[in-house]
Amino acid sequence: MKKYAAIIKGVLLYVLLTGATILMSFPLFWMISSSLKTLQETNSPGIVWIPDSPTLEAYTSIFQNENFLRSYVNSVFYVVLALAGTLISIAAVAYAFSRVEWPGRNVVFFLMLSTMMIPPQALIVPQYVFFNKLDWIGTFNPLIIPGYFAGGAAMVFLLRQAMAQIPKELDESAFVDGANHIQIWWEIVLPLVKAPLATVATFLFVGLWNNLLTPLIYLQTIDLYTLPVYVSTLYNINNTVQPWPTIMTAAVLTTVPLIVVFFLAQRYILESVVVSGLKG
């Protein structure tokens, strides 16, 4: 009797898990399915789960859409450039907070942690004035340059925690061999925190790739638009009929890099969310 109860419980559990998975990933399925439909099918009152004869029409037309292609290039360019500088500066600052003893370290570290309470949006208005003075409105600069100053206290914290776990003896023996701090940072410490670095890089990538608010404020011409800004213009409330297959095709192509990065990094992410989330 007890055995049957356990089996029923197991089956029920998997039914619930599978049901939840279907619900959670349904938008993704719907996005792909709709991108293969015709306009009539996306606007039909009856349910069209999978189009009868899938058409790649929307794909061929979007690959001829110059604005879309340019916004894709813009997104890749801006994300790569911002990611590189942000990641390196975060790694440097995390090194200072974990591997070096310096006067004032605790005070500065406390200051950095307390900036996590400042919502980034509260800084947007004054920063806009500052970038306006520099004549940076209508350029990529405001989206990229602030990150070069170790933007993101939570990410510094995550990396610092990882670096602090490396035994001190490693640096000390390197010092005896005549290495300096820059060599120790680059050649000894960074290779040992590859997994946390990958995590930080993934979070930064997702944040940059999805970013809508600041590109919307600073990129004022269509030839500078990044993907989120351009894709949002495809849907226009004044259209009598929305070009859903086209919009969903753009959506699929925008989402692909996110999904690829997520699958490559999921091993690291799923654990570190908790580490950075519950900062004691």
Partner 1 sequence: MFSNPYLSVLIIAVVTVVFIVVCSYGLGSVARWAVRMRGASPKQQESAFAGYFFAAPWIVGFIIFVIVPLSFSLYWSFTDFRIGSGSVASWKGLENYRDILFNDEGFRASVVNTLYLTVIGLPLQMGVALFLAVLLNQRRPGERVFRMAFYLPVILGFNTAVLLCWRLMLNTGTGIINQIIREVSIAVPLFGYLTRALIYGQEIITGFFLGLNTGKYNLLMRVLEAGFPADNRVPLWVQSPLWTKMSVILLMVWGCGTMMLIFLAGLNNIPKELHEAAEVDGATGWQKFWKISFPLLTPYIFYNLVVGLISSLQIFEPIFVLYRDNEPIVSSTISMVYYLWQASFSHFEIGYGSAISWVILVIILVFTLIQFRLQDRWVTYDVY
Q: Does 103 bind partner 1 (CB under 8 A)?
A: yes
For partner 1, the binding residues in 59-98 under the rule CB under 8 A are 77, 81, 85, 89, 92-93, 95-97
Of 123, 164, 222, 264, the one binding partner 1 (CB under 8 A) is 123
Of the pair 167, 241, the CB lying nearest partner 1 is at 241
Stretch that binds partner 1, among 59-67, 161-169, 192-200, 253-261 (CB under 8 A): 253-261
Distance, CA of 218 to CA of 224 (rounded, Å): 10
Of 50, 111, 222, 264, the one binding partner 1 (CB under 8 A) is 111
Distance, CA of 265 to CA of 209 (rounded, Å): 16
Stretch that binds partner 1, among 52-60, 116-124, 161-169, 192-200 (CB under 8 A): 116-124
Distance, CA of 38 to CA of 249 (rounded, Å): 12
Of 1, 24, 53, 177, the one binding partner 1 (CB under 8 A) is 24
Of the pair 1, 24, the CB lying nearest partner 1 is at 24
Stretch that binds partner 1, among 51-59, 162-170, 191-199, 262-270 (CB under 8 A): 262-270
Of 158, 197, 204, 234, the one binding partner 1 (CB under 8 A) is 234
Of the pair 144, 201, the CB lying nearest partner 1 is at 144
Of the pair 55, 183, the CB lying nearest partner 1 is at 183
Stretch that binds partner 1, among 16-24, 56-64, 161-169, 191-199 (CB under 8 A): 16-24
Distance, CA of 16 to CA of 48 (rounded, Å): 25
For partner 1, the binding residues in 211-230 under the rule CB under 8 A are 212-213, 216-217, 223-224, 227-229
Write the burial class of residue 75 (CB in 10 Å: 0-12 exposed, 13-18 middle, 19+ buried).
buried
Of 16, 50, 222, 264, the one binding partner 1 (CB under 8 A) is 16
Query: In terms of residues, how long is the chain?
Result: 280
Of 83, 156, 159, 197, the one binding partner 1 (CB under 8 A) is 156
Distance, CA of 162 to CA of 263 (rounded, Å): 22
Joined tokens for residue 277: 């989330």
Distance, CA of 140 to CA of 138 (rounded, Å): 7
* The dihedral sign for the CA sequence 92, 97, 102, 103: positive
Which residue type does 23 have? L
Distance, CA of 4 to CA of 253 (rounded, Å): 47
Distance, CA of 100 to CA of 204 (rounded, Å): 25
Stretch that binds partner 1, among 38-46, 57-65, 161-169, 193-201 (CB under 8 A): 38-46
DSSP annotation of 121 reads G
Minimum Å distance from CB 224 to partner 1? 6
Task: For the chain, report the end-to-end CA distance as a whole number of angstroms.
Answer: 46
Q: Please choose, from the candidates 223, 222, 205, the residue with its C-alpha nearest in 3D space to the C-alpha of residue 261.
A: 205
For partner 1, the binding residues in 176-215 under the rule CB under 8 A are 181, 185, 206, 209-210, 212-213
Distance, CA of 217 to CA of 137 (rounded, Å): 8
Stretch that binds partner 1, among 50-58, 61-69, 161-169, 231-239 (CB under 8 A): 231-239
